Amino acid sequence: MSSSGGSGQSGKESCSFCGKQAHEASRLIAGPPGLFICADCVDLCHVIIHPDPQQGGEAVAETAPRTLDEVPSPRELYSELQRYVIGQEEAKRTLSVAVHLHYRRLVHLDALASREKAEGEEDVQIEKSNILMIGPTGSGKTLMAKTLASVLDVPLAIGDATTLTEAGYVGEDVENLLLKLVMAADYDMAKAERGIIFIDETDKVGKATQNVSITRDVSGEGVQQALLKILEGTVANIPPQGGRKHPEQQYLQLDTTNILFICGGAFEGLPEVVAERLNARKVGFRPGEEKKESEELPDIEDPNERARLYGKVQVQDLIKFGMIPEFVGRLPVLTALQPLDEEDLVKVLTEPRNALVRQYQQFFQMEGGELEFTPGALREIARIARERGTGARGLRSVVEDLMRDILFEISEDSIRGKKTIIDESLVTALDEDETVPAPKTEDLGVDLSANEDDRNDGAAPPAGDTAARHQS
């Protein structure tokens, strides 16, 4: 559209809304041929669309972005984690407190920067609380990081430590983690500097041996040293396109001082390290002390005992495992996640807001039908996932393999107006590499296809239709 001031008009043009002539309006904005709108009407439209609540206008229905002044309490963060993560009570509490303290620390730093220091006021250095989560695959480490970032409305970058190398070696540079965060923040550097970086498989960069090698350890200690720089806080130079293949491009500078780092890993073999430490303590008890008969050596082959040993991990255990002391020291918050049992896995399937079963049930409702998983089917799915050792992550592959075969064979007509029942026999057939039989169905007693025609004709659907479509 073009615009012109009133002084340059012939006097025939006028606002199509209020009728002001060109010489009466400060500006006329031309639209389609013969149509104009004046600047006053533009301002009026803006007021109508975006009213001022302070002047009695109705607020526009939109969500205001969360600021760090509105940092959720630990209990609020815990409640959000409860909606998505099953079990792991201790880990959820630990993370809720640590994340709350971190972002309250940033609010405090902002307040200090905005005022002059009072006479006699001491400078108290509040360190950030980077987090190390130890737990098996599929226990919820990544999901917790995603949930916390979503609640806080901060950018999140997820990386895999196994892909990282020192700068100059083949692989992904550590700086690329920071680039992912900048991209997640839409290149808003201030926002990126208050984001979260989750580094998974951290245990894979542990030193293979405690003997220091004279050669550079590209995949182990060297990566820990490279990560150490950004964990403790530095101004990093980041190539906008990633990598070092474009030396001519201008680097982005990112201060990592206030970025929250969450590291995770399975740390296989760590229970043995803990058991060895506990055993040594029992063998070398002080003179005058008597060894309690109940104190037996840990049975590391017992899954429950291994889970207990993970909960007793200390800094010296991580160092003996192969992590350098400086790296561990930059991860002061340590929490252990427990393997999920079959009961927990069943809850993962059904209870969270984004549970897999709920997703498929929603799909069937969209098609005018219902979907039911019997308790036996849910237990069988959980058993298969647990036997595969993939935890909650393995549930998706089992359910999707099962539903793929079922949905491929059935049509929309066989879904509409019927309840499709997934029982244990279907899951067992999938596990035994047999052809998955057709699921049982029950008639809901509602002719939804006829109701669909009524809706197309503009008639209101009967009450029974609504009830049937929302029943789960």
What pLDDT, in 10s, does the model give residues 450-467? 444 444 444 444 334 333
Of 270, 299, 319, the one marking the end of a domain is: 270
Q: Are residues 463 and 438 in the same domain?
A: yes
| Other residues' Cβ atoms within 10 Å of the Cβ of residue 169 | 14
pLDDT-derived band at 66 (thresholds 50, 70, 90) equals very low
Q: Are residues 385 and 251 in the same domain?
A: no
Which pLDDT value is given to residue 330? 92
User: Residue 153 — φ and ψ, nearest 5°?
Assistant: 55, 50
Is the residue at 61 inside a domain? no
The parent domain of residue 41 ranges over: 3-55
Which pLDDT value is given to residue 151? 92
In contact, 129 and 98? CB cutoff 8 Å: yes
In contact, 293 and 314? CB cutoff 8 Å: no
Q: Which DSSP letter does residue 25 get?
A: S
* Alpha carbon distance, N-terminus to C-terminus of the chain: 52
Q: What mean pLDDT comes out for the span 432-448?
A: 79
pLDDT of residue 164 exceeding 60: yes
In contact, 223 and 174? CB cutoff 8 Å: yes
Q: List the CATH number of the domain containing 417.
A: 1.10.8.60
pLDDT-derived band at 78 (thresholds 50, 70, 90) equals very high
In contact, 417 and 443? CB cutoff 8 Å: yes
Q: Are residues 19 and 98 in the same domain?
A: no
pLDDT of residue 119 exceeding 80: no
pLDDT-derived band at 335 (thresholds 50, 70, 90) equals very high
Of 241, 270, 299, the one marking the end of a domain is: 270
In contact, 54 and 76? CB cutoff 8 Å: no
Is the residue at 280 inside a domain? no
Handedness of CA 264, 268, 274, 277 (dihedral sign): negative
pLDDT above 70 covers a percentage of the chain that reads 73
Which pLDDT value is given to residue 47? 56
pLDDT-derived band at 58 (thresholds 50, 70, 90) equals very low
Q: Please give the single-letter amino acid code of residue 292.
A: K
Q: Are residues 7 and 143 in the same domain?
A: no
Which pLDDT value is given to residue 122? 59
Q: Are residues 204 and 242 in the same domain?
A: yes
Of 270, 301, 328, the one marking the end of a domain is: 270
Q: Rounded to an integer, what distance in angstroms lies between the CA atom of residue 350 and that of residue 41?
A: 54
Comparing 25 with 118, which gets the higher pLDDT? 25
Q: Are residues 39 and 98 in the same domain?
A: no
pLDDT of residue 216 exceeding 60: no
Q: Which DSSP letter does residue 296 get?
A: P
In contact, 443 and 427? CB cutoff 8 Å: no
Q: Rounded to an integer, what distance in angstroms lies between the CA atom of residue 173 and that of residue 51?
A: 49
Is the residue at 354 inside a domain? yes
Q: Are residues 13 and 96 in the same domain?
A: no
In contact, 6 and 28? CB cutoff 8 Å: yes
* 187-193 long-range Cβ contacts below 8 angstroms, 24+ apart: 187/252, 189/252, 189/253, 189/254, 191/154, 191/155, 192/155, 192/254, 192/259, 193/254, 193/255, 193/256, 193/257, 193/258, 193/259
Q: Are residues 360 and 250 in the same domain?
A: no
Which pLDDT value is given to residue 213? 40
What mean pLDDT, rounded, does the chain reach? 77
270 SS3 class:
helix
Q: Are residues 371 and 249 in the same domain?
A: no
Which pLDDT value is given to residue 1? 44
Extract the tokens encoding 36: 């104009």
Tell me whether strands 333-336 and 131-134 are parallel, antiparallel or unpaired: parallel
What pLDDT, in 10s, does the model give residues 278-309? 886 554 444 455 544 445 555 667 777 888 88
Integer-rounded Cα Rg, in Å, for the chain is 30
Q: Are residues 134 and 73 in the same domain?
A: yes
Is the residue at 216 inside a domain? yes
Is the residue at 241 inside a domain? yes
Which pLDDT value is given to residue 334? 94
Which pLDDT value is given to residue 284? 44
In contact, 96 and 81? CB cutoff 8 Å: yes
Q: Rounded to an integer, what distance in angstroms lies between the CA atom of residue 385 and that of residue 94?
A: 27
Extract the tokens encoding 12: 């025939």
Extract the tokens encoding 210: 């405690």
Q: Are residues 102 and 226 in the same domain?
A: yes
How many residues does this entry show for the chain?
A: 472
Q: Rounded to an integer, what distance in angstroms lies between the CA atom of residue 397 and that of residue 416?
A: 26
Q: Are residues 35 and 77 in the same domain?
A: no
| Distance from the Cα of residue 54 to its chain's centroid | 36
Q: List the CATH number of the domain containing 207.
A: 3.40.50.300
Is the residue at 32 inside a domain? yes
- Rounded to 5°, the CA angle 400-405-406 comes to 95
What pLDDT, in 10s, does the model give residues 191-211? 999 999 999 999 988 875 444
Q: Rounded to an integer, what distance in angstroms lies between the CA atom of residue 76 and that of residue 81?
A: 9
Is the residue at 180 inside a domain? yes
Alpha-helical runs (H) found in 195-252: 221-232
Is the residue at 438 inside a domain? yes
pLDDT-derived band at 468 (thresholds 50, 70, 90) equals very low
- How many domains, in total, are found in the chain? 3
Comparing 156 with 240, which gets the higher pLDDT? 156
